Structure 1
Amino acid sequence: MKKALIIIAVVLIVVFAVVLVAMRSMKAFTGRTAASIDKPSVLSIDLSREYPERSTFDFSRFNFSMKRETNFLGLIKAVEEAGRDDKIRAISLKIDGVGLSSSQFDEFAKAIDGFKESGKPVYAFMPSAGMGDLRAGCLADSLFMSPVSDFMLMGMAIMPMFFAGTAEKLGVGFDIIQMGEYKGVGEMFTEKALTEPLRENYTSLLDALFDGWLDFVSARRGISSEDLARYVDMGTFDAVDGFGMGLIDGIVYPQEYRERILSLVEDDDDRIVSISRYHSLKKPLSGKRKIAVIYCLGNIHSGKSQDSPFSRSFSIGDETFTKAIGDAADDDDIEAILLRVDSPGGSALASDFIWKSILDARKKKPVLVSMGGVAASGGYYISMGADSIFCEQNTITGSIGVVFMKIHAQGLMEKVGITVDGITRGEFADDFAIHKPMDAHAYEAFTRMSEKTYEIFTTKAAEGRGMAHEELLAVAGGRIWTGNQAVEAGLVDRIASFSEAIDATAKMVDIPRNELGIITYPREKGFWEIAFELRANPPLSSVLPEPIEKAISPVIDMITLFRPNEILALMPVVVITDR
């Protein structure tokens, strides 16, 4: 039976390969190829889709596209190139939800502003408008909605879930030791509401994000922040009202908007160029002199990285990344290294190993960091050893603190009649047993261990930032900062986009822009290599509805990353705003 199943599997793989190759060949024969742009055209950008940090293939919904997706850096470079390209007359934005993170949006806005400096217009159409849609629409010179469209400006919120009540009902307990008054990552299991330090921290963070939204929209639309706040408190209203408020420039149906865009290119549909087609033609950053871009994305853990093409999720395994950093440092063709960090943290031990590999690499060549949407806790740990740290104004960073957790099921076992008896040697032999909580001696021992880890974390952070230890402690303690706040606190050097960080890295080793090329680490795998590595079952996060996935992701992170005897450096919450 087993042999028959193997034969069937091999046959299916071969058939699958033949079909894909045939489809690709047919598309190349009959479809439109990425011919050069030789007539005035409009660049079309769909902001409703995601632009992943790392280039990969679209395996979502079993699409199995053999063409690499345009990654975020490709999006930015394509917009920058379009500003210099005489054949690109305008940009048209499709805004039906926004797939960019807050920090990615900041960089995209800079790129669009650079495009507009060339004197070319930007148009946008929104079928409906939430907070993120309106912010994106403000990038356009002319923003349109349909007569039956609605605004749903529902505000922003940080609303973590708490499971202490659930644990009580189940008879499950959590022994939590946290270093940092504001750390809070374990409080989801021990509390039923926000503690005062956590409420203070989240209030500061949310105020900064909401005020930033008000300032951005106010400046772009010429509406006072007070009026905008009032519109948000109204919640919902239609496009006609929005037009009267000055939030949009016109009311047209989608067909009429398309006609308007086609009129710019003599009604030639082939001259509406997608961002993926345009990027494939231009191939930026392919010069002979190389820098390494190392993508540090996802949770940090011991061992090898675990990536999933189904959910487009990545992780940072210390074995994988110490090797990647070491390989880039030892490669004589690589002149400098830039780490792109987008991580809420994870294992403190694994973070320290990666930090050490960065220090070793700095002995051979410059190492810089560009922070993405989140570079907090362990994500900050792996960043703090670099020569320079850059972030966007809405990057979430800081959260310098550690947490230790032990789970027990004493109450549950009593309810179902399970008893435990045993023989031990050593005072702490049974303190990680599932049937009992830690005793006072264990709490004391693991508190000392946690305090030592926190001292190491803060000492190394102070050394990396050139600060006195006491000065660093004043901005540590688990506090979460936006990028702007982190710069003021001295945790980051300056606000800069990913593209600007690449330019700064090249400048450190005197590489002219027209000679600059990048090599990506970890090595990008080909389609077939990924396809043959796929497991039968996608991870849990890929099959859950997106709102549920986001809400419970801190819990999944804690459960996934937790190992007995290991201390975590993990950010306590996911910030959910209306994109």
Structure 2
Amino acid sequence: MFNTPLAITPAKAEMVMAALADRFGITKLFRANGDAVAMSEFGFDDSDDAIPDRYYDVVAGVAIIPITGTLVQKSGYMRPVCGMTGYDGIRANLSMALEDDGVQAIMLDIDSGGGEVAGCFDLVDAIYNARGRKPIWAVLSECAYSAAYAIASAADRIIVPRTGGTGSVGVICAHVDFSKALAKEGVTVTMIHYGDRKADGSEYVPLSDAALARFQADVDAMGELFVATVARNRNLSAAKVRDTQATTFLGADGVEIGFADAVMAPDEAFRSLLAELG
């Protein structure tokens, strides 16, 4: 980040600097012209002693919780930072919005291709169990795929734009085997381990049939959990969800399959939510 050429826009560089500020003991950021950078622009509090009451925006009584980029179990931040959103931040914002007297409804503003399985389904259950307390809408701008769709499915309604997408109800895991490439370069890696299965999945040895079967069983179990969760959330049969085979659906196709409720632009969806609130 420092003392090296970067190909990055100034706005993105400021966001990264804000994210790293605490780690480097930075309390103030300034632009080249001397103007101070407001840390609050990126979801960080730059005041001396005040902690903001809300980490989400409230517009006309609607709490807008942003869910964008890669989803991770723990980011440590309440808002998306550096292209990531943490399930921990989403859960905290949801809890606060549910208890916030100034919030009549909650809008999950989603644009994500998914992320980690760890922590995802606990968050999904928390959103699902909050149904009925306040209206919760998932408004996509543009897409909600995989883990992001799991989150969206827990909302009361899912609104997708014409060019947006839903789906990808599946789980994927990749194994890389460098053993032949290393052997070609004359490099031998010896795995010294206790426990027959300890080295399963190592990139330095070929994946054995037994290890592949074990990993496939884990992926299958997580996939079935995903299918069952979406089926419950969307009131669909598990067979119908499973038969999509992790397909993604564009706009109205998602409504037809049952993965979304309506096709609207995000601003139109927001106005629709306000109209429902009266």
- Normalised by the length of structure 2, the TM-score is 0.75
Question: Partner of 1:491 in structure 2?
Answer: 259
Return the offset for 1:14.
Answer: 8.5
Q: Does 1:420 align with 2:194?
A: no
Deviation per CA, 1:220-242, whole angstroms, max 9, x where unpaired? xxxxxxxxxxxxxxxxxxxxxxx
| Residue among 194, 209, 215 paired with 1:440 | 209
Change (3 A) 1:14 1:336: closer
Deviation per CA, 1:389-412, whole angstroms, max 9, x where unpaired? 111122122122110112231122
Structure-1 separation of matches of 2:188 and 2:217: 31
Task: Give the AA of the match of 1:296.
Answer: I
Change (3 A) 1:17 1:393: closer
Question: Partner of 2:273 in structure 1?
Answer: 505
More helix by share: 1
Change (3 A) 1:426 1:484: same
Is there any run of 5+ residues in structure 2 with no aligned partner, and where? 1-23, 43-57
Deviation per CA, 1:6-56, whole angstroms, max 9, x where unpaired? xxx99xx788598327xxxxxxxxxxxxxxxxxxxxxxxxxxxxxxxxx95
Change (3 A) 1:395 1:420: same
Return the offset for 1:387.
Answer: 0.6
Q: Does 1:339 align with 2:108?
A: yes
Question: Partner of 1:482 in structure 2?
Answer: 250
Moved more, 290-299 or 356-365: 356-365
Q: Report the 3-state secondary structure (helix = DSSP H, G, I; strand = E; otherwise coil) of the residue aligned with 1:467.
A: coil
Q: Report the 3-state secondary structure (helix = DSSP H, G, I; strand = E; otherwise coil) of the residue aligned with 1:452.
A: helix
Structure-1 separation of matches of 2:266 and 2:248: 21
Question: Partner of 2:48 in structure 1?
Answer: none
Structure-2 separation of matches of 1:372 and 1:286: 17
Q: Report the 3-state secondary structure (helix = DSSP H, G, I; strand = E; otherwise coil) of the residue aligned with 2:89.
A: helix
Contact 1:317 1:350 in 2 (8 A): no
Change (3 A) 1:15 1:443: closer
Return the offset for 1:286.
Answer: 5.7
Structure-2 separation of matches of 1:368 and 1:15: 38
Change (3 A) 1:393 1:437: same
Deviation per CA, 1:177-235, whole angstroms, max 9, x where unpaired? xxxxxxxxxxxxxxxxxxxxxxxxxxxxxxxxxxxxxxxxxxxxxxxxxxxxxxxxxxx
Q: Report the 3-state secondary structure (helix = DSSP H, G, I; strand = E; otherwise coil) of the residue aligned with 1:383.
A: helix
Structure-2 separation of matches of 1:494 and 1:14: 43
Change (3 A) 1:411 1:324: same
Q: Report the 3-state secondary structure (helix = DSSP H, G, I; strand = E; otherwise coil) of the residue aligned with 1:404.
A: coil
Q: Report the 3-state secondary structure (helix = DSSP H, G, I; strand = E; otherwise coil) of the residue aligned with 1:429.
A: coil
Identity over the aligned pairs, expressed in percent?
24
Deviation per CA, 1:272-303, whole angstroms, max 9, x where unpaired? xxxxxxxxxxxxx865xx11011111111121
Q: Report the 3-state secondary structure (helix = DSSP H, G, I; strand = E; otherwise coil) of the residue aligned with 1:295.
A: strand
* C-alpha RMSD over aligned residues: 2.7
Deviation per CA, 1:73-111, whole angstroms, max 9, x where unpaired? xxxxxxxxxxxxxxxxxxxxxxxxxxxxxxxxxxxxxxx
Return the offset for 1:433.
Answer: 2.2
Task: Give the AA of the match of 1:494.
Answer: A
Question: Partner of 2:142 in structure 1?
Answer: 373
Contact 1:369 1:389 in 2 (8 A): yes
Return the offset for 1:483.
Answer: 0.9
Contact 2:162 2:265 in 1 (8 A): no
Contact 1:366 1:508 in 2 (8 A): no
User: What is the 5 A alignment of 1:124-273?
Assistant: none
Deviation per CA, 1:128-168, whole angstroms, max 9, x where unpaired? xxxxxxxxxxxxxxxxxxxxxxxxxxxxxxxxxxxxxxxxx
Return the offset for 1:472.
Answer: 2.1
Contact 1:390 1:496 in 2 (8 A): yes
Contact 1:325 1:361 in 2 (8 A): no
Change (3 A) 1:18 1:484: closer
